[in-house]
Structure 1
Amino acid sequence: MEKFSNIYERACARKGSEQVLMSLINSPVTAADLMLIEDDLWLEEFTRKVFQSGFYWSVINAKWHGFREVFWDFEINKLLMMSPEVLEQKSADERIVRNYKKVQTIPDNCYMIHEIQQSHGSFSHFIAQWPTDNIIGLWDYLKKHGARLGGNTGPFALRAMGKDTFLLSRDVEAYLRAHEIIEGGLQSKKSLGAAQAFFNTLVNESDWSLQALSQLVAFSIGDNQVPE
């Protein structure tokens, strides 16, 4: 397995310099800042990522004001009271992308967040305290207890909200396969465990976040080299 220093040196060369590389890498928010996020915002971001999956993100973003109007700014306490009849009416509203199966994820993920609130005080507190050396465990939790949060959807939502996580982007996957860290299905238990172990090793070598390391690996391979 490559050491952090080797990956770093290659990424610097591909991007043209250490300065350029570091300008492209960013960090997650702190656990303390995560705990300050309103739980309604988690439901909103989960919904955004569910709808962005399979759609042009620009289309969803252009309609997002309409989504917030239709679904009461994703206020969990209000949505918990929503009847199936009201949900069906809202799913046909022209202000949103009318996809009933995806609209159904809103109450489902709302209930997931509410259950966590009952046991942990807040969903943000639950997320903030989850150990990053087992971030795939959090991915699995969202997949099992949430709606349509498997694959890259849950991890992308976590990244968007600031939770430290690596992402299995095309470039990261290409790296992991080229170095025989994973084989077979990307989302298999074996592949996810191997990816987590690889990033945990890099964390120990560098003291970087999973997010920064994920970006570094992506910048060290693939079609992203800075032109001469």
Structure 2
Amino acid sequence: MTSFDSILARAQQRKGGADALTALLPSPPNPQYLQQLGDDRILAEMSKRVFCAGFSWKVIEAKWPEFETAFLGFNPDSLAFQPNEFWDALFANPRIVRNAAKILSVRDNASFVREIAKEHGSFGQFLSA
């Protein structure tokens, strides 16, 4: 496996040096903004990135309101306790992308978000630390 330092050095060389590479990177998010994000919005954004991976982001964006409805507004507390039948129904829902692995990642990530939020007060608090 290639080390991170090796990857970083290659990126710096390709982009014209460390400063040039740094200039291309996004600014770190504002910690106060992160603290105010609801766990549902964090789970929604995580899920959107999962569904966009390897798929047309334009299709995901166009269908996103249906994702919000199908996934109960991405409320981690609601999703973490849904029975298998709920998830099975999503596999057949034509209003969203019916990729079982991606759908189940929402269930797993809902549990993850809940665990972190329980430990830190909210997932946003965790991200801002």
TM above 0.5, yes or no, is: yes
Whole-Å Cα distance in 1 between the matches of residues 85 and 31 of structure 2?
39
Aligned counterpart, 1:67: 67
Whole-Å Cα distance in 1 between the matches of residues 18 and 70 of structure 2?
50
- Identical amino acids, percent of aligned pairs: 35
Q: How many residues align?
A: 113
Whole-Å Cα distance in 1 between the matches of residues 125 and 50 of structure 2?
22
Aligned counterpart, 1:80: 80
* Residue aligned with 1:97, SS: coil
Structure 1 residues 40 and 3, CA, compared in 2 at 3 Å: closer, same or farther? closer
Aligned counterpart, 1:34: 34
Whole-Å Cα distance in 2 between the matches of residues 104 and 58 of structure 1?
22
Deviation at 1:27, TM superposition (A): 3.4
Deviation at 1:3, TM superposition (A): 5.5
Whole-Å Cα distance in 2 between the matches of residues 126 and 28 of structure 1?
15
Aligned counterpart, 2:105: 105
Q: TM-score, normalised by structure 1?
A: 0.46
Whole-Å Cα distance in 2 between the matches of residues 116 and 104 of structure 1?
19
Flag the structure with larger Rg: 1
* Residue aligned with 1:112, SS: helix
Whole-Å Cα distance in 2 between the matches of residues 69 and 3 of structure 1?
44
Q: Structure 2 unaligned segments of length 5 or more: list them.
A: 1-11
Q: TM-score, normalised by structure 2?
A: 0.79
Deviation at 1:25, TM superposition (A): 8.1
Structure 1 residues 3 and 42, CA, compared in 2 at 3 Å: closer, same or farther? closer
Whole-Å Cα distance in 2 between the matches of residues 3 and 101 of structure 1?
38
Aligned counterpart, 2:123: 123
* Residue aligned with 2:125, SS: helix
Whole-Å Cα distance in 1 between the matches of residues 85 and 18 of structure 2?
56
Aligned counterpart, 1:212: none
Q: Structure 1 unaligned segments of length 5 or more: list them.
A: 12-23, 130-228
Whole-Å Cα distance in 1 between the matches of residues 83 and 34 of structure 2?
31
* Residue aligned with 1:104, SS: helix
Structure 1 residues 102 and 3, CA, compared in 2 at 3 Å: closer, same or farther? closer
Whole-Å Cα distance in 2 between the matches of residues 3 and 112 of structure 1?
35
